[in-house]
Chain A
Amino acid sequence: MSLPIYATTGQKIWYYSFRVIVGLILFFLIAPIIIIIPLSFNAQDFFTFTPEMLALDPEGYSLKHYRDFFSNQDWIRPLKNSLIIAPFATIISVSLGTLAAIGLSQSHVPFRRGIMAILISPMIVPLIISATGMFFFYSQMGLWMENTFGISKSLSGYIKVILAHAALGIPFVIITVTATLVGFDQSLTRAAANMGATPTVTFFRVQMPLILPGVISGGLFAFITSFDEVVVVLFVGAAAQKTLPWQMFTGLREQISPTILAVATVLVGISILLLATVELLRRRSERLRGMSPT
């Protein structure tokens, strides 16, 4: 879409002003995320740039909000909880979701549309509705678990939140894995079977390595869904299961402290890592399946 040499003045003006407009929109998209990074190094407890910061005076900057994040139990405990809940929820969504995606990609599946609609529903139903439904369901289930198996209140709390988050992550796994399976050559499994491999061996040695990038990025989606989720955990979890987003939510609603900016910056770092991983995996998957890179 480069400018042709015969372009008129009007076309030139439009060409450049359009770029400026797009630039401004992209700035709107990215600026709020970038701007909190320098703000998080503020030496004062303010949410704006102090004159010292604008003068690039080292005195205006400090790591004190980060020190607070990593030393304050109010933040450490939620961080640990998030790191306990998200991986387990991911494992459940990925294992069940991958199997189901493979089933769904077979050529003859009865009620395919209906099943797909049910499996995708956690993504479609507004979170507040899922959360209220789960609130009633899991409070009964928690009591039942405690009375039947005699497990502690804290453990049953974790199980409840993990199961709830697993359900929320499943649509993402289904979507990414079915997308990967679209390009999967079914004759490869037949060839493997032809050479004497059992279905299990075929799955782990032939199919799995090829769809692995899709499975991993589905897993990352499921992980970030759980790691970032606050509405459901607010309703299903107890104070013992307080996660990082929950703590941020409480902080934002009640007494906003600048430590939130430090936490946010760390989370932005994590999202950059995740984004890079997913991008690399997507390209690798397309290469593996012989699709042209886009």
Chain B
Amino acid sequence: MAEQVLAADGTPLKASLNRALRRQKMRALVLILPLLLFILATFIYPIGQMLFRSVENGIVSETIPRTVVALDDWDTQENDLPPATVFDALAKDLAVAVELKEHTRLGSRLNYELSGISSLFRKTGRRVDDIGEIYTDQLVALDPAWEDPATWVTLMADPDWIAAQAAWDGEGDEPAFVVSATAIDMLPQTADIYADFARVIQSGDNDSPTEEEPWHIVSLALYQDLIASPSVDIPGPLAGLVSTAAAAAPSFETEDVIATFTDVDDDWQNPEVWETIYTYSPAYTNGYFLNAIDLQKTTDGIEWQPENEQVYLTLFLRTMIMSMTITISCILLGYPVAWMLANLPARKANLLMILVLLPFWTSLLVRTSAWKVLLQNQGVINDLLVWVGFIADDNRLALINNATGTVIAMTHILLPFMILPLYSVMQTIPISYLRAAKSLGATNWTAFWRVYFPQSVPGIGAGSILVFILSIGYYITPEIVGGTKGVFISNRIAYHISSSLNWGLAAALGAILLAIVLALYWAYDRIVGIDNVKLGG
């Protein structure tokens, strides 16, 4: 066995080296760490958070939780309306949501899936606080104590909360309402909705349940509880009041909640509305992704969107085709320039290089404004063409606000990104190979096509992927010179973020775009290596 080599301090050399290596690794990591954390926190995390929105759908089950639970038992295949319990649940949910002003948000969310729901929710929201009024009136007629907020508090609140509320000095926030266990046990529906009422009153209106009469919907819940358990026996001072109400309840005049809803809007009779709510009730959905590729979710499974609403696949396809056109134009224009740069003497090449680098360094907005000015109907290019006589004055070319404008302007903007990698590859190809080929009898074309061109392919690959990646995600230039026919998927994402506010769909479109770009980036890394990205020559 070989003798172990020892370091100067007597430890085995191997251990000593390992320790030094570990220290070196640690030092490198410590230097990198601040930036890594910065990028993770302010860049990677926000993008992850945004992408999460493409599947997140908590708004339905958060805004109308009771309805979602009640709809669980509904058989969608029967193709008729959900039972009355669902309408009751929706009335309660909406009563809470209207007070919190959340029903319009839910309405706009569901409107993305079925247009018309937004106005349906708004309309219903205005009427929902009348539901149950008939029961309040009858309770009050029975005993005016039902009109007194204190009665309700005594009935519903936990004794500890009542004590805490009484001790509260009016400074700061009132103690958060706690519903009593007895109430939950004996009058479950009333306790449930009353707790929501107290929460909204306290947080939303900064008021106290001890001073506010409950919503009419609470009376409806109480009526239902009393019907469900006529022999309810509430302990405490209100026993008499409640049992009188329980005794009277069966003879109460009742309200048909379904009829009330239908009265507000016939659409509540439309099973499609309910199917939409049902389909989008889970907390996570693939609906946005399906919409992003022109599909839609229905109760019968996944279907194509109606013909006239299919826009996204076309848009993705157009983005791809236009990016490819731009990439090919860049290859055609960039190849000769790169060849020239690579084969001229250094001094002349440097001079020409400035002509390539100046556009590269010039503000994107400047170049876009230049094209907007040049390509206009009354702009320099059309003027020139008219002057030369190529086109008639009354027949000027439409060069802007269409795909042509986008392709011209973006080819110009991205051309340096093609020339620079091509140039750096071509620099390494000795021109003498061409002479050798020719001296062996090749024609000019064969020498170029069989000898030079294959060696320049890595440069074309690198440049093409770079240009394609950049153009596929472009926003500014298409927005300004593209009109409606020349815009990319990015413009649609921006539209959904800032105008239509359909953030989930924007996130889904963004996720698809990002996946395409990352796949290309991976290819780029394999072909070129990310370390070899060069800037400015």
Contact = CB atoms under 8 A, between A and B. Distances in A.
Chain A interface main SS type: helix
Interface string B506-520: 110010011001100
Contact of A235 (B21, B38, B380, B497): B497
Most buried by B among A19, A46, A119, A129: A129
Interface of A: 1, 11, 14, 18-19, 21-22, 25-26, 28-30, 32-33, 35-36, 39, 46-49, 96-97, 99-100, 102-104, 106-110, 115-122, 124-138, 163-164, 166-167, 170, 172, 175-176, 178-179, 217, 221, 224, 227-228, 230-231, 235, 245, 248-249, 252-253, 256, 260-261, 264, 267-268, 271-272, 274-275, 278-279, 282, 294
Contacts of B43: 121-122, 130, 133-134, 167
Contacts of B127: none
Contacts of A127: 473, 475, 490
Contacts of B517: 124-126
A29 B361 contact: no
Given A115-B36, A132-B507, A267-B366, A164 B472 contact: no
Contact of B29 (A110, A125, A253): A110
Interface of B: 21, 24-25, 27-32, 34-36, 38-40, 42-51, 53, 333, 336-337, 340, 343-344, 346, 352, 354-359, 361-374, 376, 378-380, 383, 412, 415-416, 427, 431, 444, 469, 472-476, 479-480, 490, 493-494, 497-498, 503, 506-507, 510, 513-514, 517-518, 521, 525, 530-531, 533-537
Nearest to A171: B533
Nearest to B488: A128
A120 B31 CA distance: 16
A292 B112 CA distance: 62
B344 to A, nearest CB: 7
B485 to A, nearest CB: 17
Contacts of B34: 96, 99-100
Most buried by B among A128, A163, A267: A128
Contacts of B537: 282
Contact of A100 (B32, B50, B507): B32
A264 B369 contact: yes
Nearest to A106: B28
A130 B346 contact: no
A28 B479 CA distance: 22
Contacts of A11: 444
B28 A267 contact: no
10 contacts: A96-B34, A99-B31, A103-B29, A108-B24, A109-B25, A125-B514, A224-B363, A271-B358, A272-B361, A275-B357
